[in-house]
Amino acid sequence: MIPVTKTYFPPLKEYNKQLERIWKNEWLTNRGELVLELEEKIKNHLGINNITLNTNGTLPIQIALNVLAGCGEVITTPFSYVATTSSIVWEKCTPVFVDIHEEYLTIDESKIEAAITESTKAILATHVFGNPCNILEIERIAQKYNLKVIYDAAHCFGVTYKGQSIFNYGNVSTCSFHATKIFHTGEGGAFFCNDEELNKKLFYSHNFGHNGPEDFHGVGINAKMSELQAAMGLTVLAHIDEIFKNRKRVVDFYNNNLQFDSINRMLHREDTVWNYSYYPIIFKTEQQLLKAKKILNENNIFPRRYFYPSLNTLNYVIQTSMPISESISVRILCLPLYSNLSSDDVSQICLILNKLNN
């Protein structure tokens, strides 16, 4: 079977060495030695100032919304994983959707201002498949209307934009370290914030509001990463260059061997160094997608309809028409992409799709 993705498993001996440290320390959680070490190594690797590790990638979004959006309206994209929208609703905020670029697949910044009201508190935008939003224009709009900017950068580990880590943009950026991601901790995530005062508030919010063992800054929840998760992260991080290299090999193979007569690729924004996170293709029609998916499945190949459906059609939001997102969501398919996907397997996928195009 060829799945859409596979978790990268580092050498077991290396992981066991990290576990031995945990057993020696007799410390499993509450920001132990391995969590602190992983934060420092990620900061150095990415060239960022602040990172707080979390136990998953959704809690950082929820914490950022709780701190910055205050139950107000949040302008967001309908083209993302469901966690982006569900986090807004979960935090008692109101999602206000803005349609997307047909080529970049990110929120269309030219349509944001028309969606702003007196109740708007923040913009929550997704860097789709590691492709940056129009960050500079979103920053301009946010400053003009005194709005906060939160980036769902779940797919963005290793992405740079205009020469620096994409996590350095926005009031808060968040990332997922789920097992399916390029860099992972099994389950995990992080938030990144360059404003020291805001970062302090986010930090205590992720740890019950603690200010030492017997005092509290304010209300908080439990989003702390465990030492077991950090052990996996430290082991995977040691192989991150190899992971990127292998994923680039697969992406290059697709680019060089697929026929793009009746399918399109996502356009990457200029000044971006991409991370080979996903390989989406966009069909002319949903019928073509369904036919391709069926034949691939019959050959034991399992791509994923991602992102589907368009989030403005969820039954717990105010449903508004988002024609571009709705159209893309029914025509987009992410092809298999992972570190140890063989060239023979990628070749088979290309042959099947090319045959359908002829």
CA distance 51 to 185: 15
Q: Same domain for 209 and 185?
A: yes
Is it the case that residue 218 has pLDDT exceeding 90? no
Percent of the chain past pLDDT 70, that is, above it, reads: 100
Q: Same domain for 154 and 299?
A: no
Give the pLDDT confidence score for residue 203 in this predicted structure. Answer: 95
Q: Same domain for 343 and 245?
A: yes
Band the pLDDT of 217: cuts 50, 70, 90: confident
From 184, 217, 237, the end of a domain falls on 237
Q: Same domain for 245 and 202?
A: no
Q: Same domain for 186 and 60?
A: yes
Q: Same domain for 209 and 349?
A: no
Can you give the CATH number for the domain in which 350 is found? 3.90.1150.10
Which stretches does DSSP call E strand in the chain? 2-3, 52-54, 73-76, 94-97, 120-126, 148-152, 160-161, 164-165, 172-176, 189-192, 263-265, 272-273, 279-283, 301-302, 332-335
CA distance 178 to 316: 25
* Average pLDDT over the chain, rounded to an integer: 96
Total domain count, the chain: 2
Task: Express each pLDDT in 124-180 by its tens digit.
Answer: 999 999 999 999 999 999 999 999 999 999 999 999 999 999 999 999 999 999 999
Q: Same domain for 59 and 127?
A: yes
Name the residue with tokens 């080979």.
276
Q: Same domain for 56 and 88?
A: yes
Give the pLDDT confidence score for residue 347 in this predicted structure. Answer: 97
Q: Same domain for 55 and 113?
A: yes
Q: In which domain, by residue range, is 79 found?
A: 2-99+106-237
Q: Are 225 and 22 in contact (CB under 8 A)?
A: no
Q: Same domain for 275 and 345?
A: yes
From 175, 206, 237, the end of a domain falls on 237
Band the pLDDT of 213: cuts 50, 70, 90: confident
Give the pLDDT confidence score for residue 181 in this predicted structure. Answer: 97
Task: Express each pLDDT in 9-58 by its tens digit.
Answer: 999 999 999 999 999 999 999 999 999 999 999 999 999 999 999 999 99
Q: Same domain for 195 and 322?
A: no
Q: Tell me what the mean pLDDT of segment 338-357 comes to.
A: 95
